[in-house]
Structure 1
Amino acid sequence: MSRLRAASGLLALAVLTGCAGAPEAPATPSPSATPSAPAEPIRIAAGPTGQTAVLAHVYAGRLREAGFDAGVVDAGAGRADYLAALERGDVELVADYSGNLYLHLRGRAPVGPAGAAPTGIATPSPTPTPEERGLAEDLSELLGLGEERADDDDVLAGVREVLPEGLRVLEPAPAENTVAVVVTRATAVEHGLSDLEDLGPVCDEIALGTGLDFAGRSYGPEGLKDAYECVPRSFVPFAEQDELVDALLGDRVQAAALFTASPAIEDNALVVLADPLNNFVPQRVVPVGDRKLPDAAVQVVEEVSAQIDTDDLVLMTRMTTARDPYTPEEAARYWLEGGDDT
């Protein structure tokens, strides 16, 4: 990235993020992570979304700093494509989302845009068939939890159990991109809302704006009713997130279902209502690698992955979807350099 481009890019980013500061510079890998001898190249698949493409370049950049020959390759955006590439040995690493990865491995339909849209922004998806309904219930059933709903640890354990032979799950990042119900601060104060249990008693007073596929998901009307006795006055579907957010800010709907890594939440100071009963499918960022990946490389990836939280996903999304967007490689470099023009 040229100094002129970096300067203009950072100015644009400052306008986008307001008073938010640049991410702190991640720690330099420990010397123990540096390979003692030349290793085979490490090829990293870009993965299913724009976020995972940035993460792939983050992994590659940190691995190169540690002395590995690492690069990002296009192995297809579909899970079947890049998982097959991992099994064939065409790539050695990819970042994915835990819930959608597990559902894919068990032959179920993924949960909408967390595994399909580069920005974490809701996009239309086909209406689920009857066999695809009951997703949250099916998830718990597949995991052997009975009526108990699955949490992050349950899903990650499930992924480890069903991952194809020869592959392994590295330690997940704190970052997640899952569905959540959000409200404006005014609505949160008016009704004393901090989680979905608070929403239940006043749910009949609100209209809930959603993506087009929300009504066909078990975490939608059925899940909210069963888990929180929440039956909104109405469900209002939107094809575009911008329209949904405008409706929320204009009080045409009083709550909205968004993905947690959407910049719209931070930009509009929206309140994310906690989901203590795990109605929504967990979607942690998780690196998946070949079992032959050197231990020193695994250590590097896990160290950098541990530093990536949901705010970082928001930043990466913001950078790659700005009016003058950064490429995934440029966004990764910005993150790795701690936002400094070096």
Structure 2
Amino acid sequence: MNLRRPLTLVAAGAALVLGLTACGGGGNPVAGGSSQAPAAGDTIRIGSADFTESQLLAQIYAQALQAKGVQVEVTPPIGSREVYYPALTDGSIDMVPEYTGTLLQYIKKDATETAPDAVYTALRSVVPAPLTVLDKAAAEDKDAVVVTQAFAQQNNLKSIADLAPLAANVTFGGPSEFQTRPDGIPGLKETYGLEFKGYTALDAGGPVTVKALADGQVQAADLFTTDPSIEANNFVVLEDPQNNFAAQNVVPLINSAKATDQVKQILNAVQAKLTTEGLLELNKTANAPDKPNLDTVAKNWLTQQGL
């Protein structure tokens, strides 16, 4: 996840311009709009969060649009939702791949919906102008409380609730924003009564978090359910019986002015092909030892899907 290869896609038939960018967990000048010239009026500027899956989805959306003649530009990874959402609202970017449940709770902090359709319906009703969401995909990538297999076996852990008696001696790890998000540390405290010994700010479900959990620097961590490192390290995803984490289906969040009928048709066709199993396979491919370019992974998937 630490190697970022942003891709700029211009009009159909134009050359693909590749650039290498090493990014950490911080923001990007595009978020403020002051360090980057505005895109042409008919160009869709697509941003992403600073983790592989988000960047890969941005590439998939961009290449699907470009293949149909739509002018697009993919910016370097921007950062967390707390950074890229303002970039959307001020017009610095036009679109990002999003996740229904966490986006709903970001906009409406007291949202209580957890089931996929209920979350999506609520989200559509609260997304403020000039933004809108397109079709949600079946593909879902949820936050999850994850522990090592040894820690789970030693403490007979199966669900998040089982952590309650241990929490006072557990250090939790995850992205800095997880400390304040409604379904993050505040939600785990309210839903399961978890009061952890401490919190270590790491990356967003990336290699830093994986290493910290594997090495015992933290005893529990926030990872994403489509992260192939969970299976690779024999980590255990604790069950969430109280639905602290709402459904998190993949959905494009886009400026309404750029969501023409053509754009909607193209992106909704992509959404119809995205499944949770497929997303996991995409992540495995993107995180393979040879670290393929994300634009290549996206192109191959689109070709396989006939898009």
Which TM-score applies when normalising by structure 2? 0.63
**SS at the partner of 1:337?**
helix
SS at match of 1:95: strand
Give 1:207's match in structure 2, choosing from 156, 160, 170: 170
The whole-number CA distance in structure 1 between the counterparts of 2:156 and 2:298 is 39
- Cross-structure match for 1:117: none
Determine the structure 2 residue equivalent to 1:58: 60
Q: 1:314-333, CA deviations, whole angstroms, 9 ceiling, x for partnerless residues? A: 55555556665433321201
Per the alignment, residue 273 of structure 2 pairs with 307
How many Å apart are 1:312 and its aligned residue? 4.4
- For 2:251, which of 286, 291, 294 is the aligned residue? 286
Residues of 2 paired with 1:217 and 1:296: CA distance? 35
Whose RCO is larger (CA < 8 A, sep 6+)? 1
Query: 2:173 is matched by which residue type in structure 1?
Result: T
One-letter amino acid of the counterpart of residue 96, structure 1: E
Task: Return the offset for 1:171.
Answer: 1.5
Q: Is the 8 A contact 2:135 2:251 kept in 1?
A: yes
Name the counterpart of 2:109. 139
Paired amino acid for 2:87: D
Task: Give, in whole Å, the separation in 2 of the partners of 1:71 and 1:83.
Answer: 21
Deviation at 1:41, TM superposition (A): 6.9
Identify the residue that residue 336 of structure 1 maps to in structure 2: 302
Cα RMSD over matched residues?
4.0
Q: Larger Rg: 1 or 2?
A: 1
Q: Deviations over 1:256-291 (max 9, x none)?
A: 222334342132121212323232465432113437
- Whole-Å separation in 2 of the counterparts to 1:252 and 1:293: 45
Residues 47-77 of structure 1 deviation map (CA, whole Å, 9 limit, x = unaligned): 3445334223323444566xx3134314684
Q: Secondary structure at the match of 2:253?
A: strand
Counterparts in 2 of 1:18-29, with a 5 A limit? none
Aligned residues: 254
1:290-338 Cα offsets, whole Å, 9 max, x none, are 3774546534422321332445445555555666543332120122234
Deviation (angstroms), 1:183: 1.9
Structure 1 gap ranges (5+): 1-39, 107-137
Residues 149 and 278 in structure 1, CA contact (< 8 A), matched pair in contact too: no
Contact 2:109–2:182 (Cα < 8 Å) also in 1: no
Distance 1:229 1:102, change over 3 A: closer
How has the CA–CA distance of structure 1 residues 254 and 84 changed in structure 2, closer, same or farther, with 3 Å as cutoff? Answer: closer
Residue type of the alignment partner of 1:182: V
SS of 2:273's partner is coil
- Tell me the CA shift for residue 168 of structure 1: 3.3
Answer whether contact 2:141 2:276 (CA < 8 A) is retained: yes
Within-5 A mapping of 1:255-274: 255-274=220-239
With over 3 angstroms needed to count, the CA separation of the structure-2 counterparts of 1:210 and 1:163, relative to structure 1, is same
- Alignment-derived partner of residue 70 in structure 2: 70
Q: Which runs of no fewer than 5 residues in structure 2 stay unpaired?
A: 1-40, 79-83
Q: Report the Cα offset of residue 182 of structure 1.
A: 0.8
